[in-house]
Amino acid sequence: MKRAPYLFLSPAIVLFTAFILVPIGYTAYLSFRRVRVEGLGLGADARREVFAGWQNFRDALSDPELGASLLRVLGYGAVVVPVMLGLALLFALLLDTPSARLRRFARVSIFLPFAVPALIGGMLWGFLYLPSVSPFPLGDLDPLGGDLLLFAVANVAVWGGTGFNMMVIYTALRAVPPEIYESARIDGCSEVRLALRIKVPMVLPALVMTGFFSIIATIQVFAEPMILQPLTNAIPSTWAPLMKVHRDAFAIGDHYSAAATSLVLALATLLLSFAFLRSFGRRAFGGDA
């Protein structure tokens, strides 16, 4: 009987090991390797895989393309995260008011974009952005060019992610005992003050959790710019860090540099997420994050 829990956990452990731990380990192995070309470089025998030490990481950290893509993603995240979480909180608060009508229809409507695959959503918005095929009269406005490009890519992420975060926050609101709201209303608290003074503080842990996952998803953005790239010349192949990893690994064929860049990106994600939790986690969860 003592082995029963491990028996039930064994499929998850095997899958986690095969598809998470092993790829991470192989990526770490590749990041310390590189190909050395000897002689005239003719034939397969002239190319030999050797130990590279920390050289791939030094090259990744000194790569100006990676630095530019990280700055781009930080600007992208500065738009996506507050707008997406702000809309999610607003929708959740509106759905939680007693005067709300058609709650079920509204929840499904707001959540529906999250159920649309990123490929389809990106293509949908891409054609809406093109002045030649868009049903909207854009005129000379080109969302996929110039200063509007960042907001055009961010809009796709906000459209697709707001519904999921709204459901998380709305679920947290529904878990609050209704007696708290009734007491506040008896004391003369309006719905606006009730939302700002009671509801928002009560769902702060849910906001921190959604913010944590939104930051991770922002740093790892890939689908939206990758899908929009064929529709414009303004999105380079290194617009986002993961796009650079994809280009290095599959277009250039330098798997070793791509592996090192992936680990650098993973470390940056870990540090930024940890800083976010240290800043907001203690107040949200009532203790050390």
Handedness of CA 257, 258, 261, 267 (dihedral sign): negative
pLDDT value of residue 98:
80
pLDDT value of residue 40:
57
The Cα-based distances of 149 to 71, 130, 225, 238 in angstroms read 14, 12, 10, 15
**229-288 tens-digit pLDDT:** 998 888 999 999 999 999 999 999 899 999 999 999 999 888 888 888 887 766 666 555
Mean pLDDT, the chain, as a whole number? 88
Average pLDDT over residues 207-215: 91
Give dist(CA 137, CA 223) in Å, integer. Answer: 27
* Confidence (pTM): 0.86
Reported confidence tier of residue 289, pLDDT bands at 50, 70, 90: very low
Q: Which two tokens stand for residue 172?
A: 């947290």
Q: Which two tokens stand for residue 15?
A: 């899958």
Q: Which two tokens stand for residue 80?
A: 């996506």
Average pLDDT over residues 64-89: 94
Contacts of 229 (CB under 8 A, 6+ apart): 235, 237, 239, 243
Q: Which two tokens stand for residue 30?
A: 């590749």
pLDDT value of residue 248:
92
Q: Which two tokens stand for residue 273?
A: 């997420």
Let me know: does 189 contact 112? Beta carbons within 8 Å. no
pLDDT of residue 15 exceeding 90, the answer is: yes
Delimit the CATH 1.10.3720.10 region(s) of the chain.
63-285
Q: Which two tokens stand for residue 166?
A: 């709204």
H or E stretch at 74 = helix 64-95
pLDDT of residue 137 exceeding 90, the answer is: no
Let me know: does 128 contact 136? Beta carbons within 8 Å. yes
Average pLDDT over residues 58-70: 92
Q: What is the CATH number of domain 63-285?
A: 1.10.3720.10
Average pLDDT over residues 1-8: 80
